[in-house]
Amino acid sequence: MDKGGATNKGITQKTYNKWLNIYCLPYKDVKNITNEEVEAIYYQYYWLEANCHNMTNKFAVLCFDSAVNHGVKRVQEFLKLAEYKYPAKFLEARKNFYLKIIENNPSQKVFFKGWMNRIKKLEKFIETI
């Protein structure tokens, strides 16, 4: 089982509950999140908090995707390991993070192929920027 718990479009139930609470909206299951809510949460909790709006386009994409997948705090670690300027080092740090997850909990290995596919798609996409 994915240790992140119930998630839809990269948004956990916990994050969704937090957002609903801020806007005094009734709680509902994250599986029923609307596209408008996803967009608002992505912007507020990931794009702005990861400071993507102040980055180059490549790093904005890398950091946004990483913030959704790993949380904003982890983005700062990846940026530091990438010396704030090497996208390939950023992606390598992310790959190593996945490997560490598996090392710490071998049951998570079932997700490795999907994680690597996500990295490969991200690598290809930032090449176009």
Determine the Cα–Cα distance for residues 108 and 51; give it in Å rounded to an integer: 30
> pTM score > 0.75 for this model?
yes
Q: Are 29 and 6 in contact (CB under 8 A)?
A: yes
| Cα separations in angstroms, 49 against 54, 76, 111 | 11, 11, 27
| Reported confidence tier of residue 5, pLDDT bands at 50, 70, 90 | confident
The mean per-residue pLDDT over the stretch 99-105 comes to 96
Tell me, what's the pLDDT at 4? 65
Determine the Cα–Cα distance for residues 30 and 13; give it in Å rounded to an integer: 5
Q: What is the pLDDT of residues 81-92, one digit of tens each?
A: 999 999 999 999
51: left (phi over 0), alpha (psi -120 to 50) or beta: left
| The two three-digit tokens of residue 80, written as one number | 């530091």
* Three-class DSSP category at 23: coil
Residues 128, 95, 9: CA angle, nearest 5 degrees = 70
Backbone angles phi, psi at 33, to 5 degrees: -60, 140
Residue 2 has pLDDT above 80, yes or no: no
Q: What is the pLDDT of residues 8-17, one digit of tens each?
A: 999 999 999 9
Q: What is the pLDDT of residues 35-93, one digit of tens each?
A: 999 999 999 999 999 999 999 999 999 999 999 999 999 999 999 999 999 999 999 99
